Chains A and B, each alone.
Chain A
């Protein structure tokens, strides 16, 4: 089994819950980011799904940023990226300023 963490920032943290917006998810070996997202949706329910996905329920909203170990998943293998033990997944809403 794989132990991965998922953390949401700002309102996504509140929707994910856990300790300060961070959950540990246990998945079978060979799981992908797609599997992790599915597990998160099952655990956190429709409010998170509505925030993450477009109305079709399949497409990630353009303004939601997903990072795996700090790297935008667009520069990995997208949702097909295979997970490793200890990976950290970040869900980030539109944030700017500073």
Chain B
């Protein structure tokens, strides 16, 4: 029996039957997977066959907070959402913070598994073990902020915590996200999975406490972490006051802030208009996730022109890239407005913005014409056209209908050579960092189980110069395979499974993250962990996800880059001349697979799976 950190129950809801049941949280599941992404991927692997239609009723959507969520551990109240991704066809996993994760714990659950498909639109109301299936026809079509307020009014509880979808998710846009209050469980199209189930929202309220196994030991373990945070020169005062836009200035200076659909990196550098100073000029306040002393999230108010008065929590660095950098829009007010617009519509700012940038480049190249755009001159920098196209994507109208399935699918429909401008890996649109100037960061994009996903194995050594486990030259290839494995495994367990904010790992705990997780786990839950055992959890989850993706048809051939990365060197800036050629990628992939104990084709070996306690998975290798 679990003695702390976990609530001991997993809630399984079947929308088809309008039924639910509680299951005990297995001790072995906690020991082997910790929580969050680990729980979600384990359930996905066991219960959703890899050939499942992601938008069919057999797909499952799993929400899983971590053992630290709702406890005194700072910056750890986050939640993972997992399903088979409609955007990529691979494992879909994304995380978010805020308050919904802890409320699910307080309601008594270590995970929520949603199965089937409701006959009509509905939403779930969960309150301390009571589950109600409530009609949502009156909510269908509402934008996310309106939806949340209407539910709060209906439940007569302004403090209920809600995740929901907007019109984009309802219309099964594969770039739809799940909105978590004003934040997002953003990527991989998980909003469309909710929409496919006729599930508009989940509202949660709870009053339970998360038990602690050894309070004194837990206090000590927590003190170690809080001291490391206080001592961090990156967290305070810089990050706490500036937030993620600081990375825009940094990546511009390094020549790796991607612009104009990756055709303008280093040449068109919008540091002044979209960077720190610009964001500070629009900042009116900060937001904190539950039990977070940092408060990196910035409330920004657009001030000028037709966007004046529009408020958004954000845009974060990645959204400034996707809605500003890659679209060539250097009007910060337009980017703030687009960020808010995406949140309201339930669009992933990153995939949606990259899709707009893709369409703009096609227009510039003459592949799309005014006949395709409804008469709009869809040049880079056309901020009004961007807003219209975002709405069309959410409503699935015109060109927006094509882009709503992501750039990979859009390029397949448009043809005419557009594939070479589709910036994605495994169907997931690329994040902000131009990986031609950061090789391990790129290798992570190529090999992450979710597709091009900076968060699965962020190379902070290259981007921030943090010398842990050792200093690296960002332009070098050697050692990047081994480094990427380390980054992915450590990040997976300490952030994605333990649901700790990744910023804390980078800025306060590099080099001690696994020991920190082990100490917190042991004192909070009573489950004994060494640092090495913690890291093995990350490796286990990455291997399990890899086998799932193999079953779904992925292979070494999919661990690749868009052609532009491999053939077009950066022309200007502080990464001038850099690219990752096909040969360069193969060198890094060979090293990475070797470090992982996989075959040259990138398949986990039976020996590797046995060593991770994944014997039951070996049969899926054939």
Using CB atoms and an 8 Å cutoff, list the residues of chain A in contact with chain B. Answer: 7, 9-11, 20, 63, 65, 67, 69-72, 74-75, 88, 90, 92-98
Contact = CB atoms under 8 A, between A and B. Distances in A.
Contacts of B238: 10-11, 93-95
A71 B575 CA distance: 8
Interface string B471-485: 101111000000000
B244 A97 contact: yes
B465 A65 contact: yes
A20 B253 CA distance: 12
A45 to B, nearest CB: 22
B317 A98 contact: yes
Contacts of A75: 473, 476
A96 B573 contact: no
A9 B503 contact: no
B191 interface: no
Interface string B241-279: 011101111110111000000000000000010001000
Given A67-B254, A74-B471, A97 B246 contact: yes
Chain B interface size, as a band, is 35 or more
A88 B250 contact: no
Given A65-B464, A97-B247, 11 more contacts: A9-B250, A67-B253, A71-B473, A75-B476, A94-B233, A95-B249, A95-B250, A95-B464, A96-B463, A97-B296, A98-B316
A17 B267 CA distance: 24
B503 A92 contact: no
Contacts of A7: 253
Interface string B448-474: 000000000000100111100001011
19 contacts: A63-B234, A67-B253, A70-B253, A70-B574, A72-B474, A93-B233, A94-B238, A94-B507, A95-B238, A95-B246, A96-B239, A96-B460, A96-B466, A97-B246, A97-B296, A97-B317, A98-B247, A98-B248, A98-B316
A27 to B, nearest CB: 20
A96 B574 contact: no
B293 to A, nearest CB: 15
B253 A92 contact: yes
A93 B242 CA distance: 13
B234 A20 contact: no
Contact of B234 (A69, A71, A95): A95
Contacts of A11: 238
Nearest to A98: B247
Contacts of B432: 98
Contacts of A96: 234, 239, 246-247, 460, 463-464, 466, 503, 506-507
Nearest to A72: B465
A88 B276 CA distance: 21
Contacts of B254: 67, 70, 90
B429 interface: no
Contacts of A88: 574
Contacts of B507: 94, 96-97
Nearest to B465: A65
Nearest to A68: B574
Contacts of B506: 96-97
Contact of B471 (A63, A72, A98): A72
B110 interface: no
Contacts of B276: 10
Given A72-B465, A90-B574, A95-B238, A10 B471 contact: no
Contacts of B463: 96, 98
A26 B66 CA distance: 55
